């Protein structure tokens, strides 16, 4: 069995390594000091094709294999796991439901801009009284005409404080 990376995977590693070191690296100290997430990194990553890397090319993503996605995660987290987590939530938890279960219209409305970094996503499971035990959550979503009224409280949501930002 060949355990070597392919040429494509090596080139990808070099590219994401450069991005992490040169674009994320200089932001780490200020982000740690101020405890403010440098939100501008999300559209920057999107423009370079460094969001949702394993998603299909037809939605504007790179369509990589699983191993390449792991190279992506490793290189981001090596430089900063905090800033990296925001990019990873955007690339997985916050968008995978739409990819797997969304209608084509929802994919065009939410997924395609998220892959470009123009919309920021989050995944809100954890609650003060339930933790991440999905069976005990208390938040409700009640249908009201064409929309839903959502009531409840969430905590520890990565990207939760920046997910409203629309960078269209
Ligand atoms: C940096 C960070 C980012 C996060 N981002 C998100 C996010 O984007 N979205 C989101 O929804 N949540 C997020 N979370 C929340 C995170 O998913 C939960 O905090 C985590 O899953 C643990 O759940 P909990 O806090 O309910 O702990 P608990 O489930 O209360 O667990 C506490 C401890 O008890 C143990 N335990 C729990 N139940 C049992 C049992 N039945 N038997 C034996 N042992 C048990 C656990 O193993 C653990 O050691 C984030 C948390 C952090 C720290």
The number of C-alpha atoms within 13 Å of 133 and in the hemisphere containing its C-beta is: 7
Average pLDDT over residues 111-138: 97
Long-range CB pairs of 100-105 (<8 Å, 24+ gap) are none
Can you give the pLDDT at residue 167?
55
Domain map of the chain by residue range?
7-116
* DSSP code for 136: G
**Cα-to-centroid distance, 127 and ligand 1 (Å):** 10
Contact 148, 142 (CB under 8 A): yes
Q: What percentage of the chain carries pLDDT values higher than 70? A: 98
Pocket of ligand 1 (CB under 6 A): 89, 122-126, 131-133, 156-158
Distance CA 141, CA 105 (A): 21
Query: Of the residues 31, 126, 133, 158, which should be mutated to test ligand 1's pocket, given the most ligand atoms within 8 Å of the CB?
Result: 126
Can you give the pLDDT at residue 165?
64
The pTM of the full predicted model, rounded to 2 decimals, is 0.91
Nearest CA to 21 among 91, 77, 62? 77
Domain 7-116 has CATH 1.10.540.10: yes
**What is the average pLDDT value for the chain, to the nearest integer?**
95
């Amino acid at each position: 069995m060949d355990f070597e990376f392919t040429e494509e995977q090596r080139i990808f590693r070099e590219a994401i390594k450069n991005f992490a070191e040169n674009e994320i690296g200089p932001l780490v100290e200020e982000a740690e000091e101020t405890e403010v997430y440098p939100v501008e990194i999300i559209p920057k990553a999107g423009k370079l094709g460094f969001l949702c890397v394993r998603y299909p090319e037809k939605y504007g993503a790179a369509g990589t294999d699983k191993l390449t996605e792991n190279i992506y995660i490793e290189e981001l987290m090596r430089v900063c796991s905090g800033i990296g987590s925001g990019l990873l939530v955007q690339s997985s938890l916050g968008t995978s439901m739409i990819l797997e279960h969304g209608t084509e219209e929802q994919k065009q409305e939410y997924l395609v801009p998220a892959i470009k970094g123009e919309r920021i996503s989050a995944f809100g499971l954890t609650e003060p009284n339930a933790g991440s035990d999905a069976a005990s959550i208390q938040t409700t979503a009640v249908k009201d005409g064409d929309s839903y009224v959502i009531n409840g409280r969430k905590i520890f949501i990565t990207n939760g404080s920046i997910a409203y930002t629309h960078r269209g």
